[in-house]
Amino acid sequence: MATGIKDKVAIIGMGCTKFGERWNDGAEELMIEAFQECLEDAGIERKDIQAAWLGNCFDEASIGKSALPVSMSLRLPNISVTRVENYCASGTEAFRGAVYAVASGACDIALAIGVEKLKDIGYGGLPEFSSLMGVVNQLWMANMTAPGAFAMLATGYAAKYGLEIDEVRKALAHISAKSHANGALNPKAHLRKAVTEDQVLNAPQVAYPLGLFDCCGVSDGSACAIVTTPEIARSLGKKDIVSVKALQLSLSNGTEFAYDWDGAHFITTSKASTAAYQEAGITDPRNEISMMEVHDCFSITELVTLEDLHISGRGQAPRDVMDGFYDLDGGVPCQVDGGLKCFGHPIGASGLRMLYEMYLQFHGRAGERQLKNPKIGLTHNLGGFPFMNVCSIAIVGKYGE
């Protein structure tokens, strides 16, 4: 009988680059920047790492195949290194690899690192999907981009709950304005400017009904974590140990796309969150979760996700959002670090960047954003498209609590 991952693995070090348009840095510079911070934080040496996982998505547009780019950039001592790709969950997948390796006893100390160098393609947004979506799909699938695929959710959501699209947009504007307010407090965020809801509502349209400020930034960045067992963490003199409480992944199987789906929620997120709460022993997420970093690639993704995490009831997220429940001083602060909205979304790095904020918060190192005594943190990634996606959820907290 599986016993789950709860409290089997501790995070002893983390690092994260400044996210942004890092015109003069490649993936190798970004990785070493995050890695050095992480190594120093962990207080170990490179040679202590026994295995590593790299999360990276658009390898075709940046680093190329395999895990060699990370092994060579960090000069890892000929250890096992694996590259994982699972759309926007890639960073969390790298983390899962390292955590599971430690939990299995296969190694004592493992590294998870995510990187994405997006700003070497010459145009805005993510790299064009058409040549990357598979040789069959490219022959028939709609001419989609990420903003368009997610924007459709807003029309589905409005139709399901009988809302005018402008009512939905108002809640979306609050979501983006809230994240910008948080991001302004974060020196590592890409976008550090507060915006008003009116600015969000009046921005140029990118994909109906989403405007520019409903979309997250596009950035370069890297983040990483070093994990080990709680026992080894203690032997290294670590205090206030942060441990993994749950790690869940759920993938679409075609139901949304080809069978039945209301177009107003994520089947995968709903399942993964339920499984994660069970793994972590959480029964009342609305009251037990102290803070969240959810996958706000677009404001509508965040809105819908709040319901699939079972924190807002079905159809209730707009009201909770407008009530400020997810603001920094609300019931469950969401996008405490500014989110994808302000960090941008270097895909392979994002999941680890979210965990980095949780880690800082637990250690009281979050500066102006510091929350009072957070107990449980949740991170969430949603990769692919709403109708065909990969969802990852991680729950972390203080070891033994």
Partner 1 sequence: MIGITSFGGYIPRYRLSRETIVRNMAWYSPVIMAIADGEKSVANWDEDAVSMAVAAARDCMAGRDKRNLDGVILASTTLPFTDRLNAGIVAAALNMKEDGVSNVDFTSCIKAGTTAAISALESIETGRRNNILVVASDQRRTKMATTSEMFFGDGAAALLFGTNDIIAEFMGSHSVNCDFIDHYRGAGREFDYGWEERWQRDEGYGKIIPRAIGGFLQKTGMKIADFNKVIYPCYFKGTHRGIAGKLGVKTEQIQDTMHSVCGDTGTAHPFVMLISALEEAKPGDRLLLASFGQGCDVMAFEVTDGITGFECPNGIKGSLANRSELTSYQRYSKFRDLIAADLGIRGEANPDSALTILWRKRKMLLGLVGVKCRKCGTPQFPPMPVCVNPDCWTSGEFDEYEFADKKAEILMFTGDMLAASVDPPAIYGLIGYDGGGRTMLDFTDCDLDQIAVGMEVAMSFRKRYFDKERGFTGYFWKAVPQVRGGDI
Contact between 387 and partner 1 (CB under 8 A)? yes
Of 7-15, 68-76, 101-109, 208-216, which part binds partner 1 (CB under 8 A)? Answer: 208-216
Closer residue to partner 1 (CB): 130 or 373 = 130
* Residue 140 binds partner 1, judged by CB under 8 A: yes
Q: Which stretch binds partner 1 (CB under 8 A): 133-141, 274-282, 307-315, 359-367?
A: 133-141
For partner 1, give the closer residue by CB, 68 or 258.
258
What gap in Å lies between CA 383 and CA 89, rounded to an integer?
Answer: 6
The reply to whether 201 sits near partner 1 by the rule CB under 8 A is no
C-beta closer to partner 1: residue 23 or 123: 123
Of the candidates 16, 88, 224, 297, the residue annotated as catalytic is 88
Q: How far is the CB of 140 from partner 1 (least distance, A)?
A: 5
Q: What's the closest the beta carbon of residue 372 comes to partner 1, in angstroms? A: 40
Residues β-bridged to residue 392: 249, 381
Catalytic annotation on 310? no
- Considering the complex, state which of residue 43 and residue 124 has its C-beta at the smaller distance from partner 1: 124
Could you say which residues in the range 311-370 bind partner 1, by CB under 8 A? none
For the record, the structure tokens of 331 come out as: 């019931």
Give the nearest distance from C-beta 123 to partner 1 in angstroms. 4
Q: Is 205 in the site for partner 1 (CB under 8 A)?
A: yes
For residues 244 and 11, is the Cβ–Cβ distance under 8 A?
yes
- Write out the binding residues for partner 1, residues 251-270 only, by CB under 8 A: 253-255, 257-260, 263
Q: Is residue 202 at the binding interface for partner 1, with CB under 8 A as the rule?
A: no
Q: Which of 124, 313, 324, 367 binds partner 1 (CB under 8 A)?
A: 124
If the CB atoms of residues 62 and 379 are measured against partner 1, the closer one turns out to be 62
Q: Closest CB to partner 1 among 31 and 152?
A: 152
CB 125 within 8 A of CB 151: no
| Bridge partners for 244 per DSSP | 396
Task: Based on the residue annotation, tell me whether 345 is a catalytic residue of this protein.
Answer: yes
Which of the residues 149 through 178 are near partner 1 (CB under 8 A)?
149, 151-153, 155-156, 158-159
| Positive or negative: CA dihedral 395, 9, 12, 46 | negative
The residue count for binding partner 1 (CB under 8 A) is 43
Q: Which is nearer to partner 1, 156 or 338 (CB)?
A: 156
SS (H, E, C) the chain: CCCCCCCCCEEEEEEECCCECCCCCCHHHHHHHHHHHHHHHHCCCHHHCCEEEEECCCHHHCCCCCCHHHHHHCCCCCCEEEEECECECHHHHHHHHHHHHHHHCCCCCEEEEEEECCCCCCCCCCCCCCCCCCCCHHHCCCCCCHHHHHHHHHHHHHHHHCCCHHHHHHHHHHHHHHHHHHHCCCCCCCCCCCCCHHHHHCCCEEECCEEHHHECCCCEEEEEEEEECHHHHHHCCCCCCEEEEEEEEEECCCHHHHCCCCCCCCHHHHHHHHHHHHHHCCCCHHHHCCEEECCCCEHHHHHHHHHHCCCCCCCCHHHHHHCCCCCCCCCCCECCCCHHHHHCCCHHHHHHHHHHHHHHHHCCCCHHHCCCCCCEEEEEEEEEECCEEEEEEEEEEECCC
**Least CB distance to partner 1 at residue 278 (A):** 20
Q: Which stretch binds partner 1 (CB under 8 A): 93-101, 125-133, 195-203, 325-333?
A: 125-133
Smallest gap from residue 124 Cβ to partner 1 (A): 7
- Shortest reach from residue 364's CB to partner 1, in Å: 40
Per CB under 8 A, 123 contacts partner 1: yes
Q: Can residue 145 be called a binding residue for partner 1 (CB under 8 A)?
A: yes
- Report the nearest approach of partner 1 to the CB of residue 94 (Å): 27
C-alpha triplet 308, 159, 255: angle, nearest 5°: 55
The candidate with the shortest Cα–Cα distance to 83, out of 111, 107, 50, 118, is 111
Question: Is 124 or 364 the residue whose CB approaches partner 1 more closely?
Answer: 124
Residues at the interface with partner 1 (CB under 8 A): 121-125, 128, 130-131, 135-136, 138-145, 147-149, 151-153, 155-156, 158-159, 205-210, 253-255, 257-260, 263, 387
Enumerate the active-site residues: 88, 345
